[in-house]
């Protein structure tokens, strides 16, 4: 068991992918990674320290004195790089045997033990998947080989080219074509059609729902597989089988295009003029115009103001009110005068009224005696004052 976070392993593969790729290529060519080669590759990338991690993450395993990438990593790198080993038709035919055998047992044991039947359906599904993947990988590899032969970048002679094409055709393309050919009675494709038909019937007639569902899944998988095989077979008929005829002619232009199509997004194409013109119906027009205008827009400073201006605090200006009082003398009723004066300037508050009352204590103010029954009421914003009538006359008068 690996006691590491899966993401750490993936990050390690990503960081040291160059080394892992080189180990993969070595193993692909020599089937094992010799101890000396392993040391050279690790030291070439100044990554002596990663050797331990390669073992810790179980990416590389020792094989007596040498090493090899574990299958799961080998297959992963093979898939990422699209560098598939061409499979011999015999390697693919073995799936036909296992598929046929499992199908026979499923058919014969359709009414026997339910669990073993379910296991066999799952196993059959797995074998079909492997077969389909093997065909797909082989097609990719054969296309790559034959395109290289057509491009002939290595400039091999005509005779050698035909020999190679014959080799591919005889040992790989034609036998694989027989496996895929639906008109060939012994082809695996034909067997898959039989199984698909059987699964289709069983998914409708069986009583057990679990088994019915499994046949339903198998049937759907086989429909997809048959479609894939049909499209792969088309490639065999149109492109791979006529290989020998196709490589008779050679063209520099086709060589260039084949090289380009290998890495179309990594090759710099011919330069074409890029126009900046934008029409009013372009979807960029609105934003570009907006951006243009915004460049010339004068932005003024702005302030955030509270909606209600701050209340100016009332300050008792004694001399002002004193002189006002003096000019109004004699005053019949001091508090009425206070009320009238304050009313003219705004609201009457307790604070204002009491502040004005302090005028009564001024030295030059003379208060006359008041009648105790003569009272008035002064209303402020928050209170009501019952105050006596006070007369004021000028000092000394």
Partner 1 sequence: MEFENPKYHQQIVEDLMNGKFILSKEIHFEDVKENRDFYEKFFRHSFGYEFIFKPDYAYIISSETNENLSRDICIFIAILCYELDKAGINFLDKIEFGDFSLEEIDKYFENSSFVDLIKGNNSIKDYDSRRKLIRTMTTKNITEKNSEDRFSFTPVYKVFIDFAKELAESSKESETINQGE
CB of 233 to partner 1, least distance (A): 12
CA distance 139 to 161: 20
Three-state secondary structure call for residue 395: coil
C-alpha R_g of the chain: 50
CB-nearer residue toward partner 1: 76 or 143 = 143
Instruction: Look at the block and give the residue holding tokens 């050698």.
Output: 160
CB of 253 to partner 1, least distance (A): 5
CB-nearer residue toward partner 1: 264 or 396 = 264
CB of 232 to partner 1, least distance (A): 10
CB-nearer residue toward partner 1: 255 or 370 = 255
Pick from 369, 392, 367, 388: nearest CA to 378: 388
CB of 18 to partner 1, least distance (A): 19
Contact 328, 337 (CB under 8 A): yes
Count of CB atoms situated within 10 Å of the CB of 252: 8
CB of 207 to partner 1, least distance (A): 42
CB-nearer residue toward partner 1: 273 or 303 = 273
CB-nearer residue toward partner 1: 177 or 333 = 177
CB-nearer residue toward partner 1: 265 or 296 = 265
Q: Write down how long the chain is.
A: 397
- Torsion angle of C-alpha atoms 193, 194, 200, 205, degrees rounded to 10: 180
CB of 256 to partner 1, least distance (A): 3
Binding site for partner 1 (CB under 8 A): 143, 151, 153-155, 231, 234-235, 238-239, 242, 245-246, 249, 251-261, 264-265, 267-275, 277
Three-state secondary structure call for residue 391: strand
DSSP 66-122: EEEE-HHHHHHHHHHHT-PPPPPHHHHHHHHHHHHHHHHHHHHTTTS-HHHHHHHHH
């Amino acid at each position: 068991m690996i006691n590491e976070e899966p993401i750490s392993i993936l990050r390690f593969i990503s960081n040291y992918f160059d080394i892992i790729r080189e180990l993969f290529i070595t193993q692909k060519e020599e089937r094992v990674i010799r101890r000396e080669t392993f040391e050279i590759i690790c030291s070439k990338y100044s990554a002596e320290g990663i050797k331990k991690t390669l073992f810790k993450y179980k990416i590389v395993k020792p094989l007596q004195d040498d090493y090899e990438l574990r299958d799961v990593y080998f297959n992963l790198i093979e898939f990422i790089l699209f560098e598939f080993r061409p499979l011999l038709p015999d390697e693919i035919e073995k799936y036909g045997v296992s598929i046929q055998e499992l199908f026979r047992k499923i058919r014969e044991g359709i009414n026997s033990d339910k669990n073993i039947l379910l296991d066999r359906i799952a196993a059959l599904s797995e074998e079909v998947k492997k077969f389909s993947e093997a065909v797909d990988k082989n097609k990719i590899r054969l296309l790559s080989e034959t395109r290289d032969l057509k491009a002939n970048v290595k400039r091999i002679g005509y005779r050698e080219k035909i020999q190679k094409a014959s080799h591919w055709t005889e040992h790989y393309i034609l036998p694989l074509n027989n496996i895929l050919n639906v008109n060939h009675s012994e082809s695996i494709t034909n067997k898959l059609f039989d199984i698909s038909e059987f699964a289709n019937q069983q998914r409708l007639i069986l009583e057990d729902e679990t088994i019915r569902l499994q046949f339903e899944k198998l049937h759907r998988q086989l429909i997809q597989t048959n479609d894939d095989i049909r499209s792969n077979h088309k490639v065999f008929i149109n492109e791979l089988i006529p290989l020998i005829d196709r490589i008779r002619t050679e063209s520099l232009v086709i060589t260039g295009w084949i090289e380009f199509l290998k890495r179309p997004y990594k090759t710099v194409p011919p330069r074409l003029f890029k126009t900046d013109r934008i029409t009013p119906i372009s979807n960029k027009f609105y934003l570009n115009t907006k951006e243009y205008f915004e460049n010339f827009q004068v932005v003024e400073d702005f302030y955030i103001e509270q909606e209600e201006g701050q209340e100016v605090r009332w300050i008792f200006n004694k001399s002002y009110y004193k002189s006002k009082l003096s000019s109004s003398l004699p005053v019949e009723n001091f508090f009425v005068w206070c009320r009238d004066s304050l009313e003219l300037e705004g609201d009457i508050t307790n604070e204002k009224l009491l502040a004005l009352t302090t005028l009564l204590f001024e030295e030059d103010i003379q208060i006359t005696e008041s009648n105790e029954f003569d009272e008035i009421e002064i209303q402020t914003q928050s209170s009501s004052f019952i105050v006596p009538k006070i007369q004021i006359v000028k000092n000394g008068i």
